[in-house]
Amino acid sequence: MTEMMKRIALASRPAGEPTAENFRLEESALPQPGPGEVLVRCHYMSLDPYMRGRMSDAESYAEPVAIGETMTAGAVGEVIASNHPRFAPGDFAFGMFGWASHGVQPGDQLRKVDPQAVPISTALGVLGMPGLTGWSGLRAYGKPQAGETLVVAAATGPVGSMVGQIAKRAGCRVIGVAGGAEKCRIATETFGFDACIDHRGKDAKAMREALAETCPDGIDIYFENVGGAVLGGVLPLMNLHGRIIVCGMIAWYNGVEDDPTAQMPLAALWRRTLVKRLQINGLLVGDHFHLFPDFAKEVAPLVASGEIAYLEDVAEGLENAPATFIKLLKGGNTGKQVVKLI
């Protein structure tokens, strides 16, 4: 039987939270690589919060996915045909193949993956885009110093866990924020954080009180992944010359109408920024892709030795990607969310 390609296309743009109706599973003939291109059978596909933004047509830092196009995603798998000298059948490669069982990309846009060194799925998380995001953002904008206090939201995710572990290695006191007692346990026991605060059921005032108790000397660095009440609790506790790295705002991705934190007066934020001389930097990992060789050289040996821990949440089957993605946006994953395709 001829092998076919399966993909999930964007069927419609969501209004608020995505639903199953926004996605469509399709089947087609296997694509063939052109000159300089490589055909890969994907083994694992990444799911990440940024994909919610690509489903909307609002102005952003990247073009939205067009209706009918394959949902965007990084994936890793085995080369089954190649017209590029750097890749041969049997090699493993990472590329932006999308929510699909197979993909064709120019070989110059792919990264070779060694399946003997670490599991290939790590190319999607701890040794991929999320790991680079945490490592590069902390290095470029956080500039952690021994003795400082760092708070990171979404602490057990692939970005947050990288940030916390790198900050610990720099001598910081690291406080995580996560959803639920189990994730908080993972933050301290698996990733070595000094403490972790459960944000569930807490408004900005309750978050501020919990953070003030856990951070009696204030907060020097805040790595922002969620927005919402966590940000509302952090801001009053930022120290003089504090640094805030804005990486994500998952609490607001589906709309902000019901979140009073999203209505915080700009004047109050601007005044606090002035008085505390805060540094607030937006972080887009694309600005730091050129650092990937340095990142891999430093972090890959630490992952291989177990000095940097990671956690993966593995769903099975391309057809289950939409439901898994919807759950991800509600914090239903534990660790880096991937979809096993083979």
Name the residue type at position 96: M
The residues with which 336 forms a beta bridge, in sequence order, are 312
Do 164 and 118 fall into the same domain? no
**Residue 55 per-residue DSSP state:** T
Do 121 and 163 fall into the same domain? no
Pairwise pLDDT comparison (41 vs 332), residue with the higher score? 41
Do 171 and 276 fall into the same domain? yes
Domain assignment present for 298:
no
Tell whether the model's pLDDT for residue 213 goes beyond 70: yes
E-strand ranges in 225-264 read 238-246
Dihedral sign of CA atoms 179, 13, 15, 248 in order: positive
Name, in order, each residue with C-beta under 8 angstroms of 147's C-beta and a sequence gap of 6 or more.
171, 172, 173
Strands 238-246 and 279-282: parallel
User: Would you list the DSSP string of 122-133?
Assistant: GGGTTTSHHHHH
The token duo for 111 is 């990264």
307: alpha, beta or left, given left = phi > 0 and alpha = psi -120 to 50?
alpha
Tell whether the model's pLDDT for residue 190 goes beyond 60: yes
The token duo for 303 is 């992952």
Domain assignment present for 201:
yes
Tell whether the model's pLDDT for residue 253 goes beyond 80: no
User: Which of 66, 74, 91 minimizes the C-alpha distance to 9?
Assistant: 66
Domain assignment present for 301:
no
Do 191 and 252 fall into the same domain? yes
Q: Are 97 and 42 a contacting pair, CB within 8 Å? A: yes
CB atoms inside a 10 Å sphere around CB 36? 15
The token duo for 179 is 């959803």
Do 147 and 93 fall into the same domain? no
Least confident window among 266-270, 280-284, 332-336: 266-270
Domain assignment present for 303:
no
Do 206 and 323 fall into the same domain? no
3-state secondary structure of 43: strand
Mean pLDDT for all residues in the chain: 93
26 phi and psi angles, rounded to 5 deg: -130, 160
Least confident window among 5-14, 84-93, 263-272, 295-304: 263-272
Tell whether the model's pLDDT for residue 55 goes beyond 80: yes
Domain assignment present for 152:
yes
Domain assignment present for 295:
no
Domain assignment present for 69:
yes
pLDDT 10s digits, 82-97: 999 999 999 999 999 9
Number of domains observed in the structure of the chain: 2
The token duo for 61 is 């830092």
pLDDT given for residue 254 in this prediction: 61
Average pLDDT over residues 194-204: 93
Name the residue type at position 53: G
Do 216 and 172 fall into the same domain? yes
CATH number for position 153: 3.40.50.720
CA atoms within 13 A on the CB side of 327: 16
Q: Are 192 and 198 a contacting pair, CB within 8 Å? A: no
Tell whether the model's pLDDT for residue 256 goes beyond 80: no
**Cα dihedral 141, 144, 150, 152 in deg (nearest 10):** 50
Do 115 and 203 fall into the same domain? no
pLDDT given for residue 60 in this prediction: 79
Domain assignment present for 299:
no
Do 192 and 249 fall into the same domain? yes
pLDDT given for residue 1 in this prediction: 47
pLDDT given for residue 90 in this prediction: 97
pLDDT given for residue 228 in this prediction: 84
Q: Which helix (H) or strand (E) holds 181?
A: helix 181-189
Burial 75-105 (b: 16+ CB within 10 A, else e): bbbbbbbbbbeebeeebbbbbebbbbbbbbb
Do 164 and 245 fall into the same domain? yes
Q: What is the model's pTM?
A: 0.90
Do 153 and 232 fall into the same domain? yes
Give the distance between the most distant pair of CA atoms in the chain.
69
* Residue 45 structural domain: 4-125+310-340
Tell whether the model's pLDDT for residue 265 goes beyond 80: no
Dihedral sign of CA atoms 177, 221, 121, 8 in order: positive
pLDDT given for residue 249 in this prediction: 79
Average pLDDT over residues 250-265: 62
pLDDT 10s digits, 278-289: 999 999 999 999
Tell whether the model's pLDDT for residue 161 goes beyond 80: yes
Do 134 and 75 fall into the same domain? no
CATH number for position 86: 3.90.180.10
Tell whether the model's pLDDT for residue 163 goes beyond 90: yes
